[in-house]
Structure 1
């Protein structure tokens, strides 16, 4: 905004009113004078033309042109200053006579077709004034004058040039007066500036000197009015500032002295802080080393537990043995997940933990949590129930592992602090907007409850309700903290309500997305039509929840607290055994015999702690024995005719019969791990060599050429990295791929090992499908890859360089080949839409790719395409951070290439159907 000085304001405010008023007044008077002059000329013309019209009547009536010419000529000459021409016209609008020659007589005449003027007409032209008056014949009648119709008319043209000259003179006079007024105003403005501006400039100069520290200066002289008051105020201010300056100087001297002392103390504190910082950095390093070592020490035995459990599951087992081993495997995996949570606690604190966004079967995921936690609840005689809102769709998109982790934590806590009663888990659909589902999970228990004083400590790290509970029930106190942060990171909220000795209720909310992808084979409800089921459940709440979950199937359902002595005939009877009071096997067999009298099929639902009773029950003729809490899918499969038998089950996993003609060396200092890796490799390759440390591995590498080496990292005498570097120097294995196999899972461990010479990275416990991917990638030539024993580009993630990983697809499809083919086929069919959208975005950067990338990411999760899935994950992460199309353009081209590769390879897996 423009700032104007005092001079400009005074001149403006002085001259502007004078100029405006002068212009307005001049314009007003000039306009009036202009109109007045024209009116005077018109009046003068009227005074001339009206007598002429009367005087011309006789000459016109008698057609005496000479008389009329003399009359109008005389008048023209008398007023030649104003009159240009006078003309008389007959009643037929013909020129009768004119005072002089006129170049445009049509201008003087009435236009053809218009009547003669009845009265005086005044017509204003550009530079002339035209007057027309009628000439009437006047005759006497009864001594009175009577006007008749016009016998002609007279026209007189008057010149306006004289009038305009006078108008211009008036304008010039007004301008002269206006200029004189402005000059006078300028004079007064100048005088005002002299009286005001000069003192003000003097004050400004004085204030500037005071600002620069000259506090002894004063303004002298007598000024006008308020300026003198302002002068006195400035002088008083200078006096006060001088006094304040003196006091301030004294204060500064004192403060400087104090500051010197403070600086000395700060130097001492800085030294102490520097020492404390170094101690903290050392503590952080020790903590990182501790976490890394703890990870290694815990993962190493877990690798053996999980690995040999899976190997045992490949053998022929009874149903109970298989169930026990599956429980061991799931529990070990749960322990592994807890270890990962502890290692990722720092990520949670920093908000850097990445969540999966994949489709999964909602009910199966919750049933898996209930199966894992059931043994702990049943050992204490607790009933564990699950209720799912029937409005919740089967398929959803989210992070199933983190949801299971949150539920495991909350249900585990409820079980830990509950001695009797039951634990109920319910999931409600609170709101649905398009495909987005707002869910609320509620976990209720009948445990010891939490006092108001203890509730404030629940969500604090390494803290429990109080010391006594911690000593009695154990635990690190990290569970609820991790749970709270996970729920918040998933966009939800968590809370609880509790009263001492009256139980607790924990709840949390989260948002998931509905999907129509076929995650598991749907339950064939039509096969249940016409069937009837009798439900026997002693626990009232469990009976209500089970009835609600079975109510939407089309079959007759009746429920009882205990087995009735007689009943109408039913298709099946489901007898649930209470976890608190489990009868002996003889009593259960007697119940089964009684139920067979009115039921075609008897099914028992046993607590997980009593599964050993299933062998005796199945031998007695019971159709099936299921574990509590009841899985609806397993029950429906039994009702459809899929019965268990006492015969040994076939191997759970197909044994590899076609071994690759490869020579692989496994190196590990742990005998259990080495034995497990050897067993896994012997199922897949022909020749397997083992070494228990780095020196032994180096000795083997100097004598034998290998196609692949699996190298443990932490070993005595020579670690894995050193052994890898030494093996690179041998002539036989200088190009052999070396894959690091380690239990270390800290952030940055993989990048460190790859930078130090390793070709790939494999974490313990070893997943068989990932091991198979590693073997396939490093020992089988395929599109875009080099031959074995040649330098390779390290993949971003295990298996990621495989366009289609069929073993992974089969694992994701629960071993169902038809489902795996369907999933891959649906993925390939969606490529056209993705390519069209991406190409459009590359042409027009304003196109939003979030929805199509999100949809493709979900489709990749169950189709065995790890590299495409990782590309989608990276793109979706960048888009959520606000990246533009230009920022992710290289990744988009890579995505299009990967889509084309999958499209070309898919016919080999779909029998040329795509």
Structure 2
């Protein structure tokens, strides 16, 4: 109805009441008329039967049927009378006239008074007859008809019945109904015509008004209306004409204004174009100036770092000589000043790079637990000098393997931990890592650094995260710093889609936290022999509650059970009680703080535990002092330094449980931090640098480490030296005359022989601008160090890249590598050597060990998988394979015997034992055969199928034995 026009609305308003009233009144009068016709027929029948009853009195009394028949026949002349009957006083029909009446099924006897009954097409009337009018018949003989004088006027003498037809009445009803409907529809039609006629008097002017308004809306402001109507429509017509005239005037004025504004805008555009040309010239000059500044920063980095390299390097060399107390003080002052200047240069360059928008984040695989532990290990000496406890607490729901920028994350954490150590004189620094949110393959992590230092007021907190400022300017002199560390951290966190903040109170410590969004790795690169430590029990002692909790979280990730104590007496009591119970402890891990290093109680407790308990003890000490380490090692315990590195702790637990005889064959430096390790044997290193001081320092440091050193002053000489004698490792400067380090590396990699692809080339660069790391890796370099370099850095790098062929992981690329100096390189199955970098890419399957990967390597023994399952420890991998081969002679006879005896339970146990052994070494075919063999036994397979698996099992065992006998990778007792 909302879309109806005016004419439709007028018709509805006019005709709807009319039709409703007409239908109501017409229906009422038709109903009354039809009821009247029914009543008229009934009344006519009553009148007829009342006349018939007296006329039959004499005939009934005199039993004169002729008279009664005449009376009945005369009744048929009445309107609508169909038939008539007369009954005597005994209810017997004596006279009938007309067609037969319809039979009434439910009537038992004739009524005592007049009765009317209605049927579908007729009406039946019956009335009793009394002798009321017979007194005038004097000669009537009552005895002849069986009546007594006193009974004649009191008893019924008979009955009369009529049947009336309703056909004529129904016809009259239809005639009345048709007439009424015709009159009703005629009236409605006439009213409709009249209404339409008068509605047009209203709608026609309105239509004209509507058309005029639509024309005005389309922009025809010259239209005018003349509908010759009156009243309100005339007023509306006049108003629309006036509005059109006003719009026309306003439009003309607006058009004039637009023309004027367009002219003004055109002139403005011309001025803007002139300004754009000027701004473009200015922008080009600014870009050129920015480029000059970037080049200046790069050159400044190189030029400042180069002399700093000499200053710091020779300062370290002087510190190794005999000095007086005053000279030692001066040299230490020079060293601290140089290191401070280097830190300032690094901060300024990082800040410049971020401000220039040239920061690019890497997306490489990384392990967050290892990353945090690396930072704490690097900062451990500074913390241990103050007696601080450095703790890494990674909660169990934090995924270990992620895809992100480990270098930048490490930079953020290092800044926060460095600040925490700087402003904390006693207590602890705790790094907590927790999972905040996880959506599909992206996780949001929150990392917090809590210290027990001097804290800050709310006003001081407001000054944080601003460039070249500190919370308290007075602390600058006391603690040093440029105030850029937190600013750089904030920018890096924002680039990673996170936030950073602080919670602190004066003299109550501080908690710096930040969040980052990182992508989860599709496959795990962390290899732990979890099932070997599953359900092992450990008793943990540490007086520091958070360190104790962190250690518990660490070992629980390997599905070990852990109990914690903070008292030595309780430690002994629990250990002895558990030893007497059904579930003794498998190891005891004791954390020793700096205040407990000289404690005799610790020593005595360890000795009592060793005397009464046969279980390994691991001691964690918060120092790197070699004398302290050696003192604890003399107690025949495994000694590790804090902060704890989970991989080292895992390795120590495995060795304690499964290789106790090899625990104490290593030198003391095996338990020292990673940066203090050096190869046991000197190697040949090529040092390339155009600066005499740098080259001299590098040579001196390397020779002090026991290595053979060759020199080259530019890239061209480096290429020649490599072709004359292939070195085990190259330290390559980048900016050099004749041929720079990048071009020299590309030339070396492009040489035809494969041995040149496997040389680890480490960049020595003073650059810190964005994109250099990626360019170095793409050019074929394996890693890079930033000048100035220290002896520890060189030692750690050499140990990482050249360490008896054990696979290591590049800090720069997180890519597993395999390097073996002084002997041909072993190309393992399932690996592929890159033609650019000499980096081995993993292609081996990461699926369940039961999955058959024999199609990939084609060998029964997969050395690559052996190394993986042994955490990349070659000796351990060889031992595991040797143990498996040695177990064949012991475990196969029970299988043969059980198969011959038909004992499925014994057969299942024997096969399961061998199957368990195959899961710890790289024998994929045998592992799958054992898996299927065991499954068939459990599923009660037919004997024929069991026999087939048995024969395949024996054949594969023979193949493995033949491979071991023919291989020089492993030496067994069989050879």
TM range (shorter): 0.5 to 0.7
User: Do the aligned residues in 1 keep the contact of 2:72 with 2:84 (CA within 8 Å)?
Assistant: yes
Matches within 5 A, 1:657-696: none
CA apart distance, 1:263: 1.4
User: Do the aligned residues in 2 keep the contact of 1:73 with 1:99 (CA within 8 Å)?
Assistant: yes
* SS in structure 2 of the partner of residue 77 of structure 1: coil
Q: More relative contact order in 1 or in 2 (CA 8 Å, sep 6+)? A: 1
User: Do the aligned residues in 2 keep the contact of 1:669 with 1:715 (CA within 8 Å)?
Assistant: no
Change in 2 beyond 3 A, CA 1:753/1:374: closer
Change in 2 beyond 3 A, CA 1:806/1:203: farther
Change in 2 beyond 3 A, CA 1:465/1:159: same
Alignment match, 1:645: 664
Alignment match, 2:273: 267
* SS in structure 2 of the partner of residue 122 of structure 1: strand
Pair 1:814-2:828 in alignment: no
Alignment match, 2:700: none
Alignment match, 2:194: 187
Alignment match, 2:42: 42
Q: Separation in 1 of the partners of 2:26 and 2:634?
A: 126
Matches within 5 A, 1:244-283: 244-245=250-251, 247-272=253-278
CA apart distance, 1:505: 1.9
In structure 1, which of residues 156, 165, 178 is the aligned counterpart of residue 163 of structure 2?
Answer: 156
CA offset digits 1:656-688 (Å, max 9, x no partner) = xxxxxxxxxx9999999xxxxxxxxxxxxxxxx
Change in 2 beyond 3 A, CA 1:151/1:486: farther
Q: Separation in 2 of the partners of 1:261 and 1:575?
A: 81
Q: Separation in 2 of the partners of 1:432 and 1:625?
A: 38
CA offset digits 1:730-763 (Å, max 9, x no partner) = 9x99xx9999999899999999999xxx9x9886
Matches within 5 A, 1:289-438: 370-386=376-392, 392=396, 410-426=416-432
User: Do the aligned residues in 1 keep the contact of 2:85 with 2:93 (CA within 8 Å)?
Assistant: yes
Q: Separation in 1 of the partners of 2:608 and 2:282?
A: 79
CA offset digits 1:778-810 (Å, max 9, x no partner) = 99899999xx99xx9x9x994459768963784
User: Do the aligned residues in 2 keep the contact of 1:577 with 1:604 (CA within 8 Å)?
Assistant: no
Alignment match, 1:578: 594
Alignment match, 1:883: none
Alignment match, 2:123: 130
User: Do the aligned residues in 2 keep the contact of 1:576 with 1:605 (CA within 8 Å)?
Assistant: yes
Alignment match, 1:496: 502
User: Do the aligned residues in 1 keep the contact of 2:87 with 2:160 (CA within 8 Å)?
Assistant: yes
Unaligned runs of 5+ residues in structure 2 are: 132-146, 304-346, 580-586, 612-616, 680-684, 695-711, 724-731, 785-800, 802-806, 810-814, 846-855, 881-919, 923-955, 962-975
Alignment match, 1:302: none
CA offset digits 1:469-517 (Å, max 9, x no partner) = 789324454653366448856xxx764322455432234679999x999
Q: Separation in 1 of the partners of 2:92 and 2:960?
A: 112
CA apart distance, 1:137: 8.0
* SS in structure 1 of the partner of residue 871 of structure 2: coil
CA apart distance, 1:629: 3.6
Change in 2 beyond 3 A, CA 1:460/1:497: same
In structure 2, which of residues 564, 567, 582 is the aligned counterpart of residue 558 of structure 1?
Answer: 567
Q: Separation in 2 of the partners of 1:592 and 1:484?
A: 43
Q: Separation in 1 of the partners of 2:242 and 2:494?
A: 65
Change in 2 beyond 3 A, CA 1:737/1:19: farther
Matches within 5 A, 1:169-180: 169-180=176-187
Matches within 5 A, 1:693-772: 764=783
Alignment match, 1:73: 73
Alignment match, 1:110: 104
Alignment match, 2:33: 33
Q: Separation in 2 of the partners of 1:525 and 1:86?
A: 116
* SS in structure 2 of the partner of residue 506 of structure 1: strand
Q: Separation in 2 of the partners of 1:464 and 1:61?
A: 145
User: Do the aligned residues in 2 keep the contact of 1:441 with 1:508 (CA within 8 Å)?
Assistant: yes
Q: Separation in 1 of the partners of 2:18 and 2:960?
A: 100
* SS in structure 1 of the partner of residue 4 of structure 2: coil
User: Do the aligned residues in 1 keep the contact of 2:420 with 2:429 (CA within 8 Å)?
Assistant: yes
Alignment match, 1:120: 115
| Alignment TM-score, normalising by the size of structure 1 | 0.55
* SS in structure 1 of the partner of residue 594 of structure 2: coil
Unaligned runs of 5+ residues in structure 1 are: 298-337, 656-665, 673-689, 702-710, 823-861, 865-906
CA offset digits 1:505-544 (Å, max 9, x no partner) = 234679999x999954369698768x8x876x5x798689
CA apart distance, 1:606: 3.0
Alignment match, 1:614: 628
* SS in structure 1 of the partner of residue 664 of structure 2: coil
Change in 2 beyond 3 A, CA 1:481/1:373: same
Alignment match, 2:99: 101
Q: Separation in 2 of the partners of 1:722 and 1:510?
A: 37
Matches within 5 A, 1:78-89: 78-79=78-79, 82-86=80-84
Alignment match, 2:852: none
Alignment match, 1:321: none
CA apart distance, 1:361: 10
CA apart distance, 1:408: 5.2
CA apart distance, 1:628: 2.3
CA apart distance, 1:617: 0.9
Q: Separation in 2 of the partners of 1:440 and 1:371?
A: 21
Q: Separation in 2 of the partners of 1:224 and 1:619?
A: 119
| Alignment TM-score, normalising by the size of structure 2 | 0.52
Change in 2 beyond 3 A, CA 1:133/1:605: same
User: Do the aligned residues in 2 keep the contact of 1:45 with 1:158 (CA within 8 Å)?
Assistant: no
Change in 2 beyond 3 A, CA 1:230/1:6: same
- Which is greater in Rg? 2
Change in 2 beyond 3 A, CA 1:71/1:486: farther
Change in 2 beyond 3 A, CA 1:143/1:807: same
Q: Separation in 2 of the partners of 1:241 and 1:285?
A: 60
User: Do the aligned residues in 1 keep the contact of 2:398 with 2:435 (CA within 8 Å)?
Assistant: no
User: Do the aligned residues in 1 keep the contact of 2:394 with 2:434 (CA within 8 Å)?
Assistant: yes
CA offset digits 1:633-659 (Å, max 9, x no partner) = 949949978996375389999x9xxxx
Change in 2 beyond 3 A, CA 1:771/1:720: farther
User: Do the aligned residues in 1 keep the contact of 2:358 with 2:770 (CA within 8 Å)?
Assistant: no
CA apart distance, 1:109: 0.7
* SS in structure 2 of the partner of residue 251 of structure 1: helix
Alignment match, 2:481: 473
Paired residues in the alignment total 708
Q: Separation in 1 of the partners of 2:774 and 2:378?
A: 35
CA apart distance, 1:72: 3.5
* SS in structure 1 of the partner of residue 640 of structure 2: strand
Alignment match, 2:641: 627
Alignment match, 1:662: none
Q: Separation in 1 of the partners of 2:621 and 2:36?
A: 121
The 10-residue stretch of structure 1 (466-475 or 64-73) with the greater mean CA deviation from structure 2:
466-475
Q: Separation in 1 of the partners of 2:500 and 2:531?
A: 32
CA apart distance, 1:444: 2.0
CA apart distance, 1:290: 11
Change in 2 beyond 3 A, CA 1:64/1:478: farther
CA offset digits 1:841-885 (Å, max 9, x no partner) = xxxxxxxxxxxxxxxxxxxxx999xxxxxxxxxxxxxxxxxxxxx
Alignment match, 2:682: none
CA offset digits 1:66-95 (Å, max 9, x no partner) = 55544343222221xx34445678999998
User: Do the aligned residues in 1 keep the contact of 2:38 with 2:169 (CA within 8 Å)?
Assistant: no
Matches within 5 A, 1:521-540: 521=530, 537=543
User: Do the aligned residues in 2 keep the contact of 1:741 with 1:762 (CA within 8 Å)?
Assistant: yes
